Structures are given as C-alpha cells and as structure tokens.
Amino acid sequence: MSIVNHDCIVVLDFGAQYSQLIARRVRETGVYSLILPFNASPQEILSAGRVKGIILSGGPASVTHEGSPRPDKGIFEMGLPVFGICYGLQVMCQMLAGSVECPDHKEYGIANIDIISSSALFEGVSRNSQVWMSHGDRVSALPEGFVQTASTPNCPYTAVEDRKRRFYGVQFHPEVVHSLEGQKMIRNFVLNVCQAAADWNMGSFINEAVESIRAEVGDRNVLCGLSGGVDSSVAALLIHKAIGDQLVCVFVNNGMLRKGEADSVLELFGKHFNIRLQYADAENAFLEALKGKTDPEDKRKTIGKLFVDTFYNEARKCGDISYLAQGTLYPDIVESRSPFGGPTSTIKSHHNVGGLPSDLKWKLLEPLKDLFKDEVRQLGRELGLPDELVNRHPFPGPGLGVRCIGEVTKERLDALREIDAIFIDEIRKAGLYGEIWQALADLLPVKSVGVQGDERTYREVCTLRAVTSADAMTADWYRLPYDVMQRCASRICNEVSAVNRVLYDITSKPPATIEWE
Ligand code: XMP
C-alpha cells in the first residue's frame, strides 16, 4: 500500500509472532507503520514512504549463533532513530561492537524494571513499571556511546540508549498488554524521539486502500468469496468502494452455514449494498466430497479446494476474472505461514490461506492482510456495515465443517446448526454476546448413555466453548455463569434429539486452539 503521504515507522521483522502487534501499536499512536523483512536495505526502507524511524522486532533466534538474522549495517547510518526490542536490542548491540551472552537462566514472565536515568523513552512512565520479559540471551557489554537507563535483577541492561544517535533498546516487550506502560514507551519513541506526525487513521486507510486497489486492479474484474462474516464483508465493501461493479461476490452455500445465514447475506449485500452477488448452492457437492473424511487437515483442504472449484464454476458466468479477493487478516497469515519465510512456525494449515491450491489461476487480492480483527471492525463501521454484523463473533471459513468433529453429514450438521443457534441465543439473552470474543459449539463423534422420560438414549455429545481474546492469537475461556450453562444444556437436550450430553470447554489457547479442528 502506498503511504507516501504520511510519516511512517518501519518495523523490521526478525520472525517474532508479535511483529505485527508492534506495527499495530504504532498505528494506535496515529502514525502509519509497516513491516519489512529484517534484511531490507536502506533504499528499500526509504522507498516505503516518509520514514521517520525504524523498530527492530524480537525473534526466536540467538545472535550468538552463526547465521542468525542480521539487519543491513547501513540502517545504523541513515540518521534515523532505531528502537530495538528484545532480539532487536541484542542484534543492534552486537553489530555496534557491544556483546551479548547466553546466561544459564532464561527469563519469561512479568518483571518490574528499575528506571535508573531519565530517558525520552520513559517520559511519564512510573519508575518500577511492570513489563513482560521473554528472553534467553541478554546484552553483557554496551557499544560505545550507549548508557543503561533501566535494569531488572536478572538483566542489568534492560533498557539502553545512545541519545546522540537516537538509538534505543529494551529487553522486554512493550507491545504486549502485560507491559502495562509499554504503549506509552512506543508512543514516546514514535512521537517524541522520531517526531512523526500523528495523521493516520482508519479514514486514511480507506482512502489509501481504495487508491491502491484501483492501481492494482485497473479495469480487470475481481471475484470475492463472501461468507457473511466480518472479514469478507469488509473486504468486499472496501473493494466495491474502489471498483464498483468490477467486483462480483460469490456466496457459496456449502451446507455448513449457521441457521438463517444465507438469507441474511443475500438481503444485506444484494439488496442493501447493491453489490453484484451470485448465490451458489453447493451443499450436495461439499457433503459428497467430505464423505468418509475425518482428518482435520484433510477436511480443511477438501473444503478449501471445493470453494475454489465453486468459484471457478461461478466465474465462468461472470466474464473475465483476474483476481480472487479474500478477507485474510494478519493472524490468519501468521499462523499459516511465516510472512518472510523466516522462523515463525506453522500452527495449522489455516483459514483462507491454507486451503488454496498452489496453481490458483487468479491473483490474490487481500486488502486486510496487515490488520487485526478489531481494526477490521473499526473499518467496517466506517464503511457503513450494520453494528450487528460488525460485532459478530468470528466464524471460520470452513464453517460448521470444522466443528462437526469426525465425519461431516447433513444430519450432524443440522443438529449442530440447532445447537449453535440455541447457544448464541442464550448468550444474547443473558446480555453476554458483546463480552465474548467467540462462542462455538462442536459435535463430537462420541456417544454416551442418557435417560429421557423413561427411555434409555445413546446419543452424541456436544461441547460449548466461549472465549475472550484480543486478537485470536491467544485466548482464555470465558467464565460463563452457571445458570446460562444450565439453560443451554437443558434446551439443547430437549430441542435437539441427536444429543443427550453437553460439555463446556475450559481450555485456553495455548495450549488448545479456539476451533477444535
Ligand atoms: P484457532 O482455532 O486457530 O482460530 O485458534 C483462531 C481464529 O480464527 C478463526 N478461524 C478461521 N477463520 N477461516 C477463517 O476465516 C478458517 O479456516 C479459520 N479457522 C479458524 C477461528 O474461528 C478463531 O476466531
């Protein structure tokens, strides 16, 4: 995306799961930020726009190992402020002739720093501020010109700086919420040290995204898979704003949708937003393809492939298509592949990203791929999406297919659809929908004995799961009140004849993921 009209901060990515979080924290200060590979040259950095400073992210490597990622030396001679975070601090110190050691004890978790000298970074920060540490190595000798500004008992050089060259570094992670005043430090670096102008907001994002979509697409046509979820809806509206009727949306009914979903999508996008919309009823094809399949990856890939096949079929009816648009977000990408082939590890073949074949005949258009969910919601509001849709819980691309654990059949899907509708209904009635990040029901291929009336039953088990989260990268289970649980269990067993037992999932992510498959 072109950002030439704004000051910006470049984050060099050393493979941390949280690099994008740093960029997003910078954006929260009102300054645009983007991520480049760790080895971007000074020219590449400058061509990103009006760059006012550079942040070196953390990363899983050790600078003491040969072959660990190093930035271009030239970045330290650009006259720009540099802020190294964790690995970023260590690599900066080592390249500027300080040294880094690998002590016996690693340090993970909460610590309180001791600020020992005044620093632009710590303006307005309390002296013993709480931070989040996660490191093995630590700096053992400072490069010339650097001074120590904060320490912890385990890490003397917790924060260091070379005021003259405007180089700063911290061993902890200011970007995560456990660093209580971390955002203040990032703001201090961006606004005070770099003197970047805070003139970026979602409105500018829309204008620039629209411009860049127009420039990329020209007079060609784009096909967008619309699922009715927030991500694809926002992507579709943004693209529609840029290219109008060159966008065709395809809504695939794969038989794995929630109750009432198809009707509400057709109504909102076809009638209200006046977007070209094609409805593909592919329920039978999906169920046929999934017959006998129980492996989660196999199911995801089958569903992903059939989606694309369905698009191909629909595309034939829409003239010449050059792009496939998707509402892929940053967390989808980081969990599916490492953005720069770097060290971030693959967790599951995930989301939109994992299911696509390598020989896809269209180019991908993913205008939301740098954003987090709450940023996308904000964008949706600005684009005029109704609150009810914007505030909707996330729903996975493969739909109820990955919540129907084991084999996916029409009967099991119908039961799950009812269970899901009851669960969401009870959560809404209790006024808890907005507090919960996501609520989901899964049907397990496990049968248990029950008794209803005087009759013995032998039916499947379902699980309910509600989680809180900031960005789906981590999640905690939601403490659902007992009376809500009780109402769900009793309604589900009474109204859905396929199940006779209801469980509540109390696992956080990690170690579990939000979806079961
Ligand atoms: P996990 O299960 O990996 O999910 O903790 C994290 C978030 O992503 C959603 N999810 C998906 N979204 N396509 C999507 O668009 C998918 O294939 C997909 N799989 C999981 C999940 O619901 C949660 O919000």
Average pLDDT, the chain: 91
278 membership: H or E segment, kind and range: strand 277-281
Looking at residue 333, what is its pLDDT? 65
Predicted confidence (pLDDT) per residue in 133-166, tens digit: 988 899 999 999 999 999 999 899 999 999 999 9
> Which of 366, 390, 414 is the endpoint of a domain?
390
Selected catalytic residue, list 6, 135, 173, 240: 173
CA distance 19 to 496: 45
How far away, in angstroms, is 404 Cα from ligand 1 center? 15
Q: Is 181 a catalytic residue?
A: no
Give the CATH number for residue 372: 3.40.50.620
Report yes or no on 516 lying in a domain.
no
Same domain, 367 and 309: yes
Same domain, 239 and 297: yes
Same domain, 349 and 370: yes
Report yes or no on 510 lying in a domain.
no
> Which of 357, 390, 423 is the endpoint of a domain?
390
Looking at residue 72, what is its pLDDT? 98
Residues contacting residue 222 through CB under 8 Å, at least 6 positions apart:
239, 243, 246, 247, 248, 321, 322, 323, 324, 325, 365
Report yes or no on 396 lying in a domain.
no
Report yes or no on 513 lying in a domain.
no
What residues flank ligand 1, with Cβ below 6 Å? 335, 348, 350-352, 394, 396-398, 438, 472, 509, 513-515
Looking at residue 346, what is its pLDDT? 45
Report yes or no on 423 lying in a domain.
yes
Which atom of ligand 1 lies nearest, measured to the CA of 327? 15
Q: Is the pLDDT of residue 348 over 60?
A: no
Selected catalytic residue, list 8, 155, 161, 175: 175
CA distance 36 to 21: 14
Q: Is the pLDDT of residue 347 over 60?
A: no
Looking at residue 355, what is its pLDDT? 54
Burial class (CB in 10 A: 0-12, 13-18, 19+), 183: middle
Q: Is 194 a catalytic residue?
A: no
Residue 486: domain span: 403-504
335 pLDDT band, cuts 50/70/90, is: low
Same domain, 218 and 321: yes
Which atom of ligand 1 lies nearest, measured to the CA of 402? 19
The count of structural domains within the chain is 3
CA distance 200 to 205: 8
Which atom of ligand 1 lies nearest, measured to the CA of 328? 15
Q: Is the pLDDT of residue 350 over 60?
A: no
Average pLDDT over residues 337-356: 46
Selected catalytic residue, list 86, 155, 194, 462: 86
Same domain, 214 and 102: no
Q: Is the pLDDT of residue 337 over 50?
A: no
Report yes or no on 13 lying in a domain.
yes
Q: Is the pLDDT of residue 397 over 90?
A: no
Same domain, 257 and 325: yes
Predicted confidence (pLDDT) per residue in 48-104, tens digit: 889 999 999 999 999 999 999 999 999 999 999 999 999 999 999 999 999 999 988
Q: Is the pLDDT of residue 107 over 90?
A: no
Same domain, 293 and 230: yes
Same domain, 415 and 346: no
Looking at residue 46, what is its pLDDT? 94
Same domain, 229 and 210: yes
Same domain, 188 and 207: no
Looking at residue 341, what is its pLDDT? 40
Closest C-alpha to ligand 1, atom 7: 472
Q: Is 173 a catalytic residue?
A: yes
Looking at residue 471, what is its pLDDT? 74
Looking at residue 252, what is its pLDDT? 92
Give the CATH number for residue 423: 3.30.300.10
Same domain, 189 and 206: no
Q: Is the pLDDT of residue 425 over 50?
A: yes
Which atom of ligand 1 lies nearest, measured to the CA of 512? 5
How far away, in angstroms, is 376 Cα from ligand 1 center? 15
Average pLDDT over residues 373-385: 92
Report yes or no on 512 lying in a domain.
no
Same domain, 261 and 382: yes
Report yes or no on 71 lying in a domain.
yes
> Which of 193, 213, 244 is the endpoint of a domain?
193
Q: Among 224, 303, 332, 337, which residue has the most ligand 1 atoms within 8 Å of its CB, making it the best to mutate?
A: 332
Average pLDDT over residues 412-421: 98
